[in-house]
Amino acid sequence: MSTASVQLPNWITYGLLPLLNLMLAFFISGIVVWMIGENPWEALKLMLEGALGRGDAIGFTLFYATSFIFTGLSVAVAFHAGLFNIGSEGQAYVGGLGAALVALALDHYTPWYVTMPFAIIGAALFGAAWALIPAWLQAKRGSHIVITTIMFNFIGAALMVYLLVNVMIVPGKMAPETRNFLPGGQLPKLDWLMALFGLKLGPAPFNVSFLIALAMCFLVWLLIWRTKLGYEMRTLGISPSAAVYAGVPYVRTVVIAMLISGGLAGMMALNPVMGASGRLQVEFVGGAGFVGIAVSLMGRSHPVGILLAAILFGILYQGGADLSFEMPNITRDMIVVIQGLVILFAGALEYMFRPALVRIYQQFARG
């Protein structure tokens, strides 16, 4: 009998199976470290220390996690509607333009807490706008959204480089970036939050966008599981034909899902642009959009899972950076390998262990 139709209890499907996949990904990463000639245990210890050992380390970890929460939510919302949005990277990049324009326009006149809501709207609007054309092409013309969003990542990158090099650059400077925002255009750091736990933030750029990200987690949960639109999106994701038969407007739902997805990706820009560097730079996204895919897959597209997965990847990014100082043989790029392996095992090979688990489970259930 085929094992695919056997029901497994939730703690296996949502607990044990992802855990096994994750452990396999880390095991293979360990083999790579060992092949390089370093001790994997030692590397793991250094990495955890580098990510969680000090106040500023935790600050950096949470700073990275903030970006990944946004992009993870972005991928997840589209995923619930059955759409694979590979374009979070480009949407976040263009979203940075929205955030930067607001910051540049307002920072002379308003304090940060007035600028912030406008910046959130600006970033979300620009991110959503960058998702609009792929969404429309998918909904109306049937063009595969994976391909169009990949194309739009590249078009967005070209557009942003052009704007930064030719339009938004500070006259007379070489670096393709905007001027520094005044404090009115920056998001303050969360040192008080860290101080509550008796930790010193130090130079880490952990900032208010973390709180925005948490709010978005809640809003996404509300949207997906507590609203009519969310219900329609999930129906569409599970079975488009059934959804259309039940009266779900296909074009509208696809476009709205992608706009929300793009908006969430765009908001990611708040964190690095307004929270950390205080200016818009070339390639500030740095692959966070792609990490969002891994985060969403690991978090099973649920906000709580995404939060946990984002923190895990925050640990990887910060710990990996620290590790490359301690063990110069292991470069930061090791993170990219681990990320790839996590996507491979938690995503593409997610059911690899399932048949075996079903057999073991049935043994126990019978006996």
Partner 1 sequence: MSYFDILISILGSTIRLSIPLLFTALAGLFSERAGIFDIGLEGKMLASAFAAACVAYVTGSPWLGLLAGIAISIAFSLIHGFAAITNRGNQIVSGVALNFVAAGLTLVLGQAWFNQGGRTPQLPPSARFSPITLPGADLVRDVPVLGPLYANVISGNNILTYLAFLAVPISWWVLYRTRFGLRLRAVGENPGAVDTAGISVAWLRYRSVIVAGFLCGFAGTYLAVAQSAAFIKDMSAGKGYIALAALIFAKWKPVPVMFACLLFGFLDAVANFMQGKSVPFIGEVPVQIFQCLPYVLTCILLAGFIGVAHPPKAGGVPYTKER
Structure tokens at 206: 């952990």
CB closer to partner 1, 73 vs 194: 73
Structure tokens at 210: 């973390």
232/250 Cα distance (integer angstroms): 9
3-class secondary-structure state, position 189: strand
84/201 Cα distance (integer angstroms): 37
Measure the N-to-C terminal CA separation of the chain; round to a whole number of Å: 19
Q: C-alpha 23: how far from its chain's center? A: 21
CB closer to partner 1, 83 vs 119: 83
Residue 177: closest CA among 275, 261, 283, 75: 283
Helix-then-strand count for the chain, H and E: 16, 0
We find the least distance from the C-beta atom of residue 320 to partner 1, in angstroms, to be 10
We find the least distance from the C-beta atom of residue 345 to partner 1, in angstroms, to be 8
Q: Helices 250-267 and 209-226 meet at what angle, rounded to 10?
A: 160
We find the least distance from the C-beta atom of residue 146 to partner 1, in angstroms, to be 5
CB closer to partner 1, 241 vs 364: 241
Whether the Cβ atoms of residue 130 and residue 87 lie closer than 8 Å to each other: yes
CB closer to partner 1, 236 vs 330: 330
Structure tokens at 191: 């040192």
We find the least distance from the C-beta atom of residue 93 to partner 1, in angstroms, to be 13
CB closer to partner 1, 130 vs 210: 130
CB closer to partner 1, 90 vs 205: 90
Structure tokens at 335: 């993170």
DSSP codes of every residue in 143-168: --HHHHHHHHHHHHHHHHHHIIIIIS
Whether the Cβ atoms of residue 138 and residue 148 lie closer than 8 Å to each other: yes
Residue 289: closest CA among 149, 139, 82: 149
CB closer to partner 1, 129 vs 297: 297
CB closer to partner 1, 309 vs 338: 338
We find the least distance from the C-beta atom of residue 133 to partner 1, in angstroms, to be 7
Helix or strand (DSSP H, E) at 96: helix 88-106
We find the least distance from the C-beta atom of residue 278 to partner 1, in angstroms, to be 25
Q: Which residues contact partner 1 by CB under 8 A?
A: 2, 4-5, 32, 35-37, 84, 86, 133, 137, 141, 143-144, 146-148, 150-152, 154-155, 158-159, 161-162, 166, 290, 293, 297, 329-331, 333-341, 343-344, 347-352
Whether the Cβ atoms of residue 46 and residue 334 lie closer than 8 Å to each other: no
CB closer to partner 1, 74 vs 209: 74
We find the least distance from the C-beta atom of residue 59 to partner 1, in angstroms, to be 25
Q: C-alpha 245: how far from its chain's center? A: 33
We find the least distance from the C-beta atom of residue 137 to partner 1, in angstroms, to be 5
We find the least distance from the C-beta atom of residue 172 to partner 1, in angstroms, to be 19
